[in-house]
Amino acid sequence: MTWLLEPLAYQFMQRGLLASVIVGVLCAVMGTYVVLRGMAFLGDAMAHAILPGVAIAYLFRGDLLVGAGIAAVIVALSIGLFSREGMVKEDTAIGIMFAAALSLGVALISSMQTYAVDLSHILFGDVLGVSKTDLWLIAGLSFAILLTVALLFKPFLVISFDPVLAATLRLPAELLRNLMLVLLALTVVVSLQTVGVSLAAAMLVTPAATAYLLTRRLLPMMLVSALIGAASSVIGLYISYYFNIVSGSAIVLTATLFFLIAFGWKRLHSHSTNG
């Protein structure tokens, strides 16, 4: 038992663990939409697109999360704008915004003198550097996002499953679609601190994809996904503590292991039932 409790003697570990679990759950829940609506590319793009926001915030000594948040919302809405009415296909719009924002971010960061350390934190996360303020911000934003998802469960279900029904029921589909993009952007921002820009997409996709293999309805899929996200975060953080691995990597690799197990189980299961 001591090996379980030992890391928790440190305050930064407690905060890190709490932050990871919150982010794990949040990403996993938003990830169900990412997986079902085929937005994996978007999630990845969004994660990279927040770099310029982080860089500008850093330049002006502002809060990195706030900078990232503003950048993410701008990118999300401009993807929505470019792809509206089919002027440019959505994945093309994503590709353009993704590359432009990433380039701008790298350009800004490379113009700074002392970027090396902070850039690696942004790219791979710095879960042990979560301050009390960060934790409150992460918790608050996550709560707001999850509450929105809970309240809009039915509208989001309908616009994802059957856009034509959404139209006949007079749902404001365009507004809901943009809101979902904004929620996704904020999710990526919140996960910046724990898994970093380059691994946020994995936390969005992997637990949800695992849950998709194991469930057959949306709500159970979300709950199982959240459970896998939380478990991956806890296990990953312990692995990172004892084996001295970057926490983001350890968390994502744990989630990947869950996916492989579920995939193998599903293969065996479907083979045995199909004869």
CA–CA separation, 250 vs 153, rounded Å? 31
Nearer to another protein, 4 or 86 (CB): 86
CA–CA separation, 159 vs 36, rounded Å? 11
| Amino acid type, 139 | A
157 contributes a contact to another protein by CB under 8 A: yes
88 contributes a contact to another protein by CB under 8 A: no
164 contributes a contact to another protein by CB under 8 A: yes
Scanning residues 22 to 41, which ones bind another protein (CB under 8 A)?
36
| Amino acid type, 54 | V
> What is the chain's alpha carbon radius of gyration, rounded to the nearest angstrom?
19
**Binding another protein by CB under 8 A: which of 14, 78, 160, 256?**
160
CA–CA separation, 231 vs 251, rounded Å? 9
Cβ atoms of 71 and 48 within 8 Å: the answer is no
Among 1, 12, 52, 23, which Cα is nearest to 252's? Answer: 23
Nearer to another protein, 198 or 215 (CB): 215
112 contributes a contact to another protein by CB under 8 A: no
Cβ atoms of 62 and 14 within 8 Å: the answer is no
Stretch 186-225: interaction string toward another protein, x if CB under 8 A: --------------------------x--xxxx-xx----
- C-beta of 228: minimal distance to another protein in Å? 15
User: Which residues lie near another protein (CB under 8 A)?
Assistant: 36, 151-152, 154-155, 157-158, 160-165, 167-170, 212, 215-218, 220-221
